[in-house]
Chains A and B, each alone.
Chain A
Amino acid sequence: MTINLILSIPYMNHHLKKVLLASFVAMLGGMPALALAQGHAGHTDHSGHPDHSPHAGHAPEKEGHVKHDARDPDAYSGSYVRNAGQFSLPPYDALLMSDTHNFGSIEFDRFEYVRAQGKEWGAYEGEAWYGNTYDRIVLKAEGEAAGGKLEHAETQLLWRHAAFAFWDTELGVRFDHDEGAPNREWLAFGIKGLAPYWFEVDATAYVGPSGRTALGLSVEYDILLTQKLYLRPEVEVNLYGKNDERRGIGSGLADVTTGLRLKYEITRQFVPYLGVEWSGKFGKTADYAQAANESRRQTRFVAGLSFRF
């Protein structure tokens, strides 16, 4: 995972590099505990594991590390091409299969009722994507609504590219809306994928006007209790490069949210859940919250539905 992270670093601005690395390492530190609870156990210490030390026989995903003697995949073509030349059909009769087709999906991970400290609201997080195996257009949406009003929304429009076996890059724009505060726009660049031991990781850096920067990180993991019932612990961290007082955001580590949801797959498409979330604000962000008479720490109960089409 570290390798993948490092690969993406050259694309990020210098200020974010340190923040990203520091916070990512910190987050990962907390994960092995989760990993051990699962069959997907995380024994990262290979020294205690002599059987597996000769890794020569297989190729753990070296993310694009081409061997020097690798074959040319077109070497057997004898310069023939499809749909032209001897025995070929005209190109408009070409065989097209699903590898060139576009697929699409709408996936809502969270569509939930939230209750905390006597208040209640609704929250959503999901995405719609369309495209082929390697390039997709993605609309990501996340937000909160109360009393029929959208209080907070983050919406991103991204190009998702399959860059490595288990990792995608994402490039696009993000729009933030906060009730009673100015909207914000960002350019977004992120990586998203599956780290060894089945951790779903998403790390995105944002750059906005007036030198604003931000970094969002999330890690989640599914612990299968049965084939249909599973626990999903997740951690989300947001960091900002600059104070944005009108939106109650301070520079540095702004907030951390950890959640644990117990989900039951009625089908792969409809998954109701119950859960608990703990959220904390830190630094200047916490000060702003206190000044606005909002809590710095919050424990929430959630109930909702994941669904996809």
Chain B
Amino acid sequence: MKHHTKLALPLPLASRRRFVQGLAAGGVLAGLSPFAQATGMPPNRLNTGTAQILKGTEFYLEIGESPVNFTGKPRIATTINGSLPAPTLRWREGETVTIRVKNSLRETTSIHWHGIILPFEMDGVPGISFTGIAPGETFVYRFKLRQSGTYWYHSHSGMQEAKGVYGAIIIDPAEADSIRADREHVVLLSDWTDEDPMRVLAKLKMQGDYYNYNRPTAVDFFQDASRMGLKAALDKRGMWNEMRMSPADLADLSADALTYLMNGATPSGNWTGLFRPGERVRLRLINGAAHTFYDVRIPGLGLTIVQADGVNVEPVTVDEFRFGPGETYDVLVEPKDEAYTIYAQAMDRTGYARGTLAARAGLEAPVPALDAPEWLAMADMMGATGAGEAGPAGGHHGGTGGTGHGGTHGMDHGAMAGKGAGRQARHAKTEYGASTDMRVDMPRDNLDDPGVGLRKNGRRVLTLSQLHTIGGAMDPRGAEREIELHLTGNMERYAWSFDGVEYGKSTPVHFRYGERLRVILHNDTMMTHPMHLHGMWSELETPEGRFQARRHTIPVQPAQRISFLVTADALGRWAWHCHLMLHMDMGMFREVVVA
């Protein structure tokens, strides 16, 4: 029933980077894992790096605990089949798969098949699609595959995803794959914290910027004042301070809490994917992090984006792209030299995940320095109205790395933001209370904006406006109805919600069965939220209503208004949430009823 193969061509055993050294080793200590012992895996081996591949139509997954060590501190991870990441599941479009998931934990668990179109009872969200998998029990998932591409799966229970319950899914097309490559690798990015994720959340409840060590300081101020003059330095901070917002609020969790992983390997673990020079290599990049937006690039190689969220797009070649938890991108690269670094900086620039594409095991390429963290621009807080004021805000922290663009960031962006001007948002009544610390009245549309930290960095950076799904929209109908929801939060209180209402106090959003509707997500916060609607595709459109791309997870930037069309063809109850795990858990989550 199970086929154990490697995704890449077989490597010499000694060079396999999954048996990594020392701390670089970081990963599941297989010899100590009860599962590994039960299945007769060789003891004392570190099982990290490229996950095992399971193929076929019948699968057995066991969720349990495994000892891990990523940082020098032994910890217990929650894993599937004793592996972190979990085994890669390779399926074929048109087939029906059966997955038996056994719970060997002492708490309820679940598996959600992220981006897969299936009956709602199979969607794996405890409390919505099913009752969860109780300790000791086995749940049988069975569904027919109606799509192809790169996806992933993860626990939807508590903090299990942050503790290791995630893996890749590859669904081969029923017909020949239109994306031609000589070789392929899954590159699953994630993050790990040695702390108990609930403890991390408790600390954020004490102090919203608990893990932020890039806050504006008096020293920064005096440096700015001497460089740009006192008035400019005051202006740069004025509105932020008046509003009690921090321009440095780029991420809730930083490298202070997180270790960034590529295929389960730490940066020093250096996951390595092999190729032969001249080959065309397909990388299936998955952001399976609990809380990290990654900016990915491979210095020396153009990245030809051919698929987003499992759906093929018109190829577009860039140097870099940003993706948030839940999103996937497939890229083609044509490496000619011996070694290249796959470099994925966290959006807040406190750390990175890193691996190597190499012609031979053991090779390394230079690892770039982290970019300097850039402050949010005025337009990130104020939307279209912030356009004219974006200039001063972009300055100080941007433009490093020798590109010399410094003070122009915000300006440029301001021009982009200007397009959204004139569209007045309608806030919900519930956005005027303690749950919501900011409201943007005039959002921006900036689909052509790569986002803070990537503007004018001298590299070609992917934007949503460059994504065009091949074949167009799945449903030619226009929207019959429109709903507008706002993404809201309070950073000081560490509270997150839709329309100022947390999940626990919310009512569901009703989609009429069979209708085509327009969803507008308007971001009233200062953070980018990867919004994931279960069960149905989100067909992103331009501000003018032209179809852009079919996604399952759409990142919505601060002060941005995103609109997408949904065909409500999936009866049942579904989850809809921000895929930043702690935002989801604090209430940026809604139930959708299709009926």
Contact = CB atoms under 8 A, between A and B. Distances in A.
Interface of A: 37-43, 49, 51-52, 54, 56-62, 64-67, 69-74, 76-82, 85-89, 93-100, 103-105, 107, 133-134, 162-167, 194, 196-198, 223-228, 268, 308
Given A82-B508, A86-B595, A93-B127, 16 more contacts: A38-B221, A39-B224, A51-B388, A61-B243, A70-B428, A73-B507, A78-B510, A86-B593, A87-B571, A89-B130, A103-B201, A103-B205, A133-B495, A162-B493, A164-B433, A194-B492
Contacts of A51: 235, 388-389
Nearest to B497: A99
Nearest to A67: B427
A74 B243 contact: no
Nearest to B126: A95
Contact of A42 (B120, B131, B241): B241
Interface stretch (B93-101, B186-194, B538-546, B579-587): B579-587
B196 to A, nearest CB: 13
B216 A224 contact: yes
Interface in B509-559: 509-510, 512
A82 B591 contact: yes
B206 A40 contact: no
Nearest to B571: A87
A49 B128 contact: no
A59 B214 contact: no
A100 B127 CA distance: 14
Contacts of A225: 217-219
Nearest to A161: B434
B414 to A, nearest CB: 12
Interface residues of B, number: 94
A13 B503 CA distance: 38
A58 B438 contact: yes
A60 B203 CA distance: 27
Of all A-B residue pairs in the complex, the 7 with the closest CB atoms, nearest first, are: A57-B385, A95-B127, A78-B510, A39-B221, A99-B587, A99-B502, A162-B434
Given A39-B237, A87-B593, A105 B202 contact: yes
B221 A56 contact: no
A163 to B, nearest CB: 6
Interface stretch (B64-72, B376-384, B469-477): B376-384
B426 A70 contact: yes
A88 B573 contact: yes
B207 interface: yes
A103 B202 contact: yes
B484 A71 contact: yes
Given A37-B218, A38-B218, A80-B595, A164 B235 contact: no
Contacts of A37: 218
Given A78-B593, A107-B206, A73 B428 contact: yes
27 contacts: A37-B218, A40-B216, A40-B237, A43-B234, A57-B384, A57-B442, A58-B381, A58-B383, A58-B439, A59-B438, A59-B439, A60-B243, A61-B437, A64-B433, A73-B429, A81-B508, A87-B572, A98-B587, A99-B505, A105-B202, A107-B206, A133-B502, A133-B586, A165-B435, A165-B490, A166-B244, A224-B218
A224 B237 CA distance: 14
B242 interface: yes
A80 B127 contact: no
A198 B437 CA distance: 14
A58 B386 contact: yes
B229 interface: no
B238 A80 contact: no
Contacts of A67: 427, 432
Contact of A56 (B120, B239, B441, B503): B441
Contacts of B234: 41, 43
B440 interface: yes
Nearest to B573: A87
A88 B233 CA distance: 55
Contacts of A41: 221, 233-234, 237-238, 241
B483 interface: yes
B96 to A, nearest CB: 22
B3 interface: no
B275 to A, nearest CB: 41
B305 interface: no
Q: Determine chain A's interface SS by DSSP, over half rule.
A: loop
Contact of A72 (B128, B383, B429, B593): B429
A95 B382 CA distance: 34
A196 B203 contact: no
B15 interface: no
Contact of A80 (B430, B485, B507): B507
Contacts of A57: 382-386, 440-442
B518 to A, nearest CB: 12
Nearest to B204: A103
A133 B427 CA distance: 22
Contacts of A39: 216-218, 220-221, 224, 233, 237
Nearest to A91: B127
B504 interface: yes
B504 A96 contact: yes
A85 B132 CA distance: 19
A98 B585 contact: yes
B394 interface: no
B215 interface: yes
Contacts of B333: none
A105 B243 contact: no
A196 B430 contact: no
Nearest to B125: A95
B501 interface: yes
A162 B126 CA distance: 30
Nearest to B240: A40
B386 A99 contact: no
B187 to A, nearest CB: 30
Given A57-B383, A162-B493, A165-B436, A77 B510 contact: yes
Contact of A99 (B217, B219, B586): B586
A104 B516 CA distance: 45
Contacts of A60: 242-243
Contacts of B400: none
B184 interface: no
Given A37-B218, A39-B237, A58-B381, A71 B426 contact: yes
B506 interface: yes
Contact of B493 (A95, A96, A133, A227): A133
A104 B199 CA distance: 11
A103 B593 CA distance: 31
Contact of B214 (A72, A198, A227): A227
A77 B586 contact: no
Contact of A97 (B218, B220, B495, B587): B587
Contacts of A94: 127
Contacts of A70: 426-429, 431-432
Most buried by B among A56, A76, A227: A76
Most buried by A among B221, B434, B507: B434
B147 to A, nearest CB: 23
Nearest to A81: B507
Contacts of A82: 506-508, 591
Contacts of B495: 99, 133
A89 B383 contact: no
A103 B224 CA distance: 39
B205 A105 contact: yes
B432 A65 contact: yes
B244 A198 contact: yes
A196 B242 contact: yes
B493 to A, nearest CB: 5
A99 B213 CA distance: 26
B489 to A, nearest CB: 10
A19 B529 CA distance: 46
A59 B426 contact: no
A19 to B, nearest CB: 27
